[in-house]
C-alpha cells in the first residue's frame, strides 16, 4: 500500500511541476486511463480526491473510505490556503489570530462537506484501488465564501492566491 501511495504522490508531484507523465509511469502507478481529476489531484480549491484499497472485493467500503479521505482533503486544503493567504497579507503579530481564523473556517468547511456526494468515481485497471472526487456544491461554496467574508477575507483574492503557481 505504501508503494501505491508513493507512486501516487510521485505522479501528483510530476503533474504539479508541469512535467508530462509518461505512459510507462502511468502504467507502473496503475493510473493509466485515469480521469484527469485523479492525475491532477482535483478540480480547484473546493474539491479533493481520496483513494483507498479494495480489500476482499469490498468496493463499497473502499468507496466510503476514499470519500471520507476526499472530504478531509478539501477541508485541509481550504484551511491551508486560508492560513497561507493570511500569513502573506499580515505581519507576525497577527499569526496566532490568523491560525485561529483559518481553523474556524476549516471547521466550518468540514461541516458543509458532511453531506456532499462524490462527483467522480474511478477504479484502477487492476481493480485494487478506488479513487473518489468530492466537489463542494455551489450552495456549500457560497456558505464558505460568506464565512470567509465574515472573517474579512475576500474569497476572490483567496481563490486567485490558491491558483498561483
| Rounded-to-integer distance, Cα 145 and Cα 139, Å | 10
Where are the chain's structural domains? 2-162
- In what side-by-side order are the strands of the sheet with 118-123? 47-53, 129-135, 118-123
Tens-place pLDDT, residues 9-60: 444 444 444 447 788 888 888 888 889 999 888 787 788 899 999 999 999 9
Residue 149 — very low, low, confident or very high, per pLDDT cuts 50/70/90? Answer: confident
Q: Is residue 5's pLDDT more than 60? A: no
Give the DSSP letter string of 108-119. Answer: HHHHHHTT--EE
The domain defined by 2-162 carries CATH number 1.20.950: no
The DSSP symbol for 21 reads P
Residue 133 — very low, low, confident or very high, per pLDDT cuts 50/70/90? Answer: very high
Q: To 10 degrees, what angle do helices 95-113 and 138-150 make?
A: 160
Instruction: Tell me how crowded residue 29 is: count the other CB atoms within 10 A of its CB.
Output: 20
Contact residues for 40 (Cβ-Cβ < 8 A; gap 6+): 15
Tens-place pLDDT, residues 73-109: 888 888 777 777 777 766 655 666 666 666 677 676 7
Strands 47-53 and 129-135: antiparallel
Amino acid at each position: 500500500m505504501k508503494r501505491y501511495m508513493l507512486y501516487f504522490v510521485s505522479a501528483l508531484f510530476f503533474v504539479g511541476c508541469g512535467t508530462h507523465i509518461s505512459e510507462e509511469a502511468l502504467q507502473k502507478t496503475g493510473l493509466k486511463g485515469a480521469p484527469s481529476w485523479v492525475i491532477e489531484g482535483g478540480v480547484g480549491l473546493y474539491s479533493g480526491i481520496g483513494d483507498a484499497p479494495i480489500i476482499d472485493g469490498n468496493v463499497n467500503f473502499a468507496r466510503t473510505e476514499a470519500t471520507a479521505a476526499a472530504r478531509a482533503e478539501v477541508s485541509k486544503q481550504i484551511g491551508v490556503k486560508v492560513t497561507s493567504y493570511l500569513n502573506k497579507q499580515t505581519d507576525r503579530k497577527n499569526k496566532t489570530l490568523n491560525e485561529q481564523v483559518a481553523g474556524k473556517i476549516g471547521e466550518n468547511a468540514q461541516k458543509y462537506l458532511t453531506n456532499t456526494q462524490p462527483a467522480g468515481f474511478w477504479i484502477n485497471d487492476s481493480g485494487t484501488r478506488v479513487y473518489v472526487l468530492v466537489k463542494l456544491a455551489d450552495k456549500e461554496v457560497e456558505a464558505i465564501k460568506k464565512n470567509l467574508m465574515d472573517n474579512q477575507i475576500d474569497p476572490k483574492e483567496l481563490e486567485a492566491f490558491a491558483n498561483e503557481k
